[in-house]
Structure 1
């Protein structure tokens, strides 16, 4: 599942900017608005779909999400054709529809997939599985980069159409091979309505957060992480282009960013492999120390990019930031699941994802405004500073474990 999802995402998103600008002719405001629509959709639906996974079935939630994602990406790849077929609806309107579908589909998968894995194999084994799945995802991303460049040369929308088909095929594959043997739905009275069942599950998840103060703090500071990541993700490429200036070599813009993406993926792949060997994923204190170190590395990389004096320095900073994210994602997922109860696991994971979406929706534009008002360097500096509370939280966790 991780391999196919990563392959589809890499095929679509490596050259997505070229498709949006050269084929759909979206302006900068529309490009930003796309992200805002996506994050607002996640913010609204994440809690609902997480509760569905905990109340009824993680397996069904994941499979529904795959089909919705496949349809959403197919709509985005067909936006120009759909607009020409129905002239009353603009290209951008179809892109907005695709982002809403993308957001809804992702909320069905987010949280439910990790909760399913942890329930099926146990918390002790989950860390290793998540690390190996991350390694497979990075290998798939590397393959997808080349496919994306090749497909986009045939037709700019072909990567999105391919990604949509891959997600739909994955949904059909999971219908056959994905089993759910350990999930126990929450007990409710026979006559309880669906709405009351879902409300009860959400309230149970909220109680878990209240009983674990550090978990509540993590959810809160994830807002800051979301704001920082939204600003960084949208600005590092423009910073390399306009702030640093690409070297004067006979290499296209798409090829430059393909090279950077491939280098970042290879570096992340090596980092994940080392982390698998060195980190005991069943030891909560060691996992917390790893998260502290990787968060510090990410903050340092973002701040380093903000003050980079030359292109080589900037590229090194981007690669370090990318590697820290690749390594920390499965470790952070493992740490969260160590502190969650099975019956509300997907709900609480969705709460974390919601706080990230809130940060991206509310904080991302602020970081972007700083760039417009002052400079992109100032935006990157603010993104690094916004992540400092997360570092403080993991430091506190390590002290308590000690």
Structure 2
């Protein structure tokens, strides 16, 4: 969508990042309340609302280019993300327990992410097809797809594994109590704290890369076309990320069993290091193939990180607060992006993109010793389950 903002709305570096910051502020404010709603009322309802609101957000964005209306679209999209984050993963984990207990949540999240990436791969090329009409047509096609998905999910999805607590009266007190239970669970378990901090540091470092990578290519290199369409390069890059992530997750999940805690942490640490190093190369390299490789390293590592973090959190959160715990992690990520986004956008606008990438990498570095310490603890206590 960033290329639409650049070419159709003519946004500069700072405006692109601020638009992302508005999106993340919305997520930060709504993440935990919507996660609590999913834990107290219905996870299926929460996911359905997410898809429908995403369709509305894409409609607003595709039908307008003034910055104020694009900001409104970002707010609605952020709200839709809060209804999805945590609720979908908690719904999956509970449905597996109720319907197919022989499948581990780890396996389901990693395999599910691979199917999601395959869907994104198809979506990227569908959007490229619509771009022959206009970039706006691609956005509006996405809006229609989200609205259809919301209706299909409402009609066909089951919710056999979710059971409301018998003493829940569906009032505000239930929401507050679930919020407290989720926070207390994270606070008392170092295994959860380490991974929630990981999401926050990734958030600190990600905003400039997320919002400005396409502008980096446009400003630095003459880009090839595909079928005489200048938007083809974005389809090639995005689909390459999808395929690369599918391969990485297939390697991680090749045993088709629940991953040992030590292995999950080691993979997470390796991905974090790849992101930090890749951003420096992406920002500073001047050779096009090297920049392409760095881009793939960062984007693939970021996408592969997500299902591993969710698997770790799901394994250590009880069902009654699972969506809330996952939402806390999402909120930590948004908090990081909110704090760093305007700063990184200003650095890119004033000093240049490469300095923003260097700063982004530096913001991720404190996470490395945190994960290394956690790995040391797990090695010393290989049978730990919940500390």
TM-score of the superposition, structure 2-length normalised? Answer: 0.89
Contact 1:272 1:327 in 2 (8 A): yes
Shift of 1:345: 0.8
Q: Which residue of 2 aligns with 1:31?
A: 16
Shift of 1:221: 4.5
**Mean Cα displacement is larger for which, 178-187 or 354-363?**
178-187
Shift of 1:22: 4.0
Q: Which residue of 1 aligns with 2:148?
A: 169
Does 1:40 pair with 2:25? yes
1:160-219 alpha-carbon deviations (Å, 9 max, x no partner) = 2221221111111112221111222234365xx721111111011111012113423433
**Mean Cα displacement is larger for which, 276-285 or 301-310?**
276-285
Contact 1:50 1:111 in 2 (8 A): yes
Q: Which residue of 1 aligns with 2:64?
A: 79
Contact 2:225 2:233 in 1 (8 A): no
Q: Which residue of 2 aligns with 1:263?
A: 240
> Take 1:161 and 1:249, find their aligned partners in 2: how far apart are those partners?
23
**Mean Cα displacement is larger for which, 290-299 or 231-240?**
231-240
Contact 2:3 2:214 in 1 (8 A): no
Q: Which residue of 2 aligns with 1:8?
A: none
Of 39, 43, 46, the residue aligned with 1:54 is 39
**Mean Cα displacement is larger for which, 357-366 or 250-259?**
250-259
> Take 1:211 and 1:249, find their aligned partners in 2: how far apart are those partners?
53
- The alpha-carbon distance between structure 1 residues 189 and 151, as it changes in their structure 2 partners (threshold 3 A), is closer
- The alpha-carbon distance between structure 1 residues 210 and 303, as it changes in their structure 2 partners (threshold 3 A), is same
Shift of 1:114: 0.3
Q: Which residue of 1 aligns with 2:82?
A: 107
Shift of 1:253: 4.3
> Take 1:235 and 1:30, find their aligned partners in 2: how far apart are those partners?
10
Q: Which residue of 1 aligns with 2:164?
A: 185
Q: Which residue of 2 aligns with 1:147?
A: 126
Q: Which residue of 2 aligns with 1:98?
A: 73
Q: Which residue of 2 aligns with 1:325?
A: 302
Of 137, 141, 145, the residue aligned with 1:158 is 137
Which structure 1 segments of 5+ residues have no match? 1-12, 81-90
Q: CA RMSD in A?
A: 2.4
Does 1:232 pair with 2:218? no
**1:356 aligns to what SS in structure 2?**
helix
Contact 2:13 2:348 in 1 (8 A): no
TM-score of the superposition, structure 1-length normalised? Answer: 0.86
**Mean Cα displacement is larger for which, 57-66 or 248-257?**
248-257
- Equivalences, count: 374
Q: Which residue of 2 aligns with 1:68?
A: 53
Q: Which residue of 2 aligns with 1:386?
A: 363
> Take 2:164 and 2:158, find their aligned partners in 1: how far apart are those partners?
15
1:244-295 alpha-carbon deviations (Å, 9 max, x no partner) = 4236889764222322222222222222222221585342222122212222
